[in-house]
Each structure stands twice: as structure tokens, then as C-alpha cells.
Amino acid sequence: MSLVDDLVALNPPLLVALDVDGTLAPIVRDPDKATIPKDILELLEALASASSVQLALITGRDLESLSRMEQLDGIWRGVEHGAVVLGPGEQPRERKLAEEHVLALARFKEWVRDHAGDAFVEYKPQAVAVHVRGIAETDPARANRLLDEAEALAARLGLHVRKGRCVREAEALAHDKGEALRQIFERSGARSVFFAGDDLTDLPAIEFANKHGIGAFVLSPEKPEPPTPSMIVIQSARSVAQLLAELSRRLA
């Protein structure tokens, strides 16, 4: 049986939850320039309107940044690695950080300004992410040094450190995509779940999905092997698109 056959055989309604960058949107040097291809947006729209499907996007991006890539109706969103979970049509609530976290993030931003000016930096409401993919192309040693320094400083400041490929993120509070997926699963009334993601930060969600359905790791030229050999894999982001096309033909 193919993966799509296995997904269609799961108990409905099926929660289809997807990471964004590297899973739906091709990875590019500057995350601000990443886009979800139009054909994939159309497939997501079709899945979102299917009565037997609940659709969720779960990403490290903040809501503002995700909104630049999609404005789909009727979907769940987990943003900032699960710090914020929003049901269809829900608006985020105001959040307030403790003074110590505000200060620690300010110190981290100072370091970024003084030492990592050439990195791509994402400033989120409760976190700062330093991306070095662009630097790694020309100076991998410096890229690795920046990742190490960012990690050490964040830890020293009492911030949570999130490690992804070519990115270190200093977060005021720790969250993970597995927790976001659990919340969405419970609140949506879905009876089974499929999740796909391409980075280490997706592993908690893949693990959760495997307990209630199917979790899959998306391979890429940057990560041609799954973190553990027994994982279900999808060969590329393009294969994710093919899977969604087949899934929407069968379920939408």
C-alpha cells in the first residue's frame, strides 16, 4: 500500500498537519523570500474545505510572516513552534513577557547587531532566530561559529535554545510543535492525524502523529537521510505536493 492509501484508511476526520518551510515552500537563502507555490496553495484550499479533513499548518514562523505566505480560510495554525495555536478564524491573544525575558532578548539582539550583522535574523514576538544558510554557502566555518556563539549566549542568558538546520533560535519560553499538534488534534475533533516536516524541530510532531496516525520526515538535499532509519520518509517537498494532490483527489 502507498502512503496515500494508508492515510485514506485512517479514521475520519483526518487532521492533515504540515510544516511549511522545506515541506510546502522550497528552502531559499532568505526566509522572507520563501513562498508556497500556487498549485500547492490550491491543494491546501481544497483539503481545507473537505468535510472529512481538518487542515493545519505548524511552523516556526510567527503569524505575520506566515500571513505573507498564505491567507487560507478554515485552517488551524500553530506558529512560533507552537507558542501560539489558532483555530479557524481565531485571532491571537495579547501576550506579555516577564521583565527578565524582555531583558535577555534585548541582550541577545545586541549580540546579533554587533556580531551577526550578515546573518538573516527573524525577530519574533518572543524569540530571535539567527539563520546562517547564506553565510554557510561562502564561509561554512564562520556559519558554524555563529551558530555555536548564538547557542552559548542564549543559554547563558537563560533563554531556550532551538536548533534547526542552519539556524539557532533564542526563545523566551520553550514550546514544541508536538504540543501544538496535540492541542489542535484535541480541539479539532479529528480522530486521526498525519503530520509531515523536514527538520529536527518537527520530530516531536512526527512522534505525536505516529501515536494517532502517521508522521513522516521530508528528505531534502540538505538532509538526505532521516534522523532514525525506521522513520516513514517522503523523498522531497515535490513529493509532498504529489501526495497532497492525490489526497485531495481522494478526500476532497
Residues 106-125, interacting with Mg ion (CB under 5 A): none
Nearer to Mg ion, 19 or 62 (CB): 19
Nearer to Mg ion, 13 or 22 (CB): 22
Q: Is 171 in the site for Mg ion (CB under 5 A)?
A: no
**Residue of the chain from 14, 21, 127, 184 that contacts Mg ion (CB under 5 A):** 21
Q: Is 215 in the site for Mg ion (CB under 5 A)?
A: no
- Least separation in angstroms between residue 234's CB and Mg ion is 12
Between CA 208 and CA 249, with CA 8 as vertex, the angle to 5 degrees is 120
Backbone torsions φ then ψ of 34, nearest 5 degrees: -70, 145
Give the residue ranges of DSSP H helices in 21-131.
38-48, 63-67, 99-115
Structural contact between residues 252 and 246, judged by C-beta atoms closer than 8 angstroms: no
Q: Is 198 in the site for Mg ion (CB under 5 A)?
A: yes
- Least separation in angstroms between residue 24's CB and Mg ion is 9
Whole-number Å distance between alpha carbons of 135 and 150: 15
- Least separation in angstroms between residue 240's CB and Mg ion is 11
Whole-number Å distance between alpha carbons of 208 and 18: 13
- Whether the link from the prior residue into 13 is cis, omega within 30° of 0, is yes
Q: Is 82 in the site for Mg ion (CB under 5 A)?
A: no
Query: Which among 50-58, 85-93, 185-193, 197-205 is the span making contact with Mg ion, rule CB under 5 A?
Result: 197-205
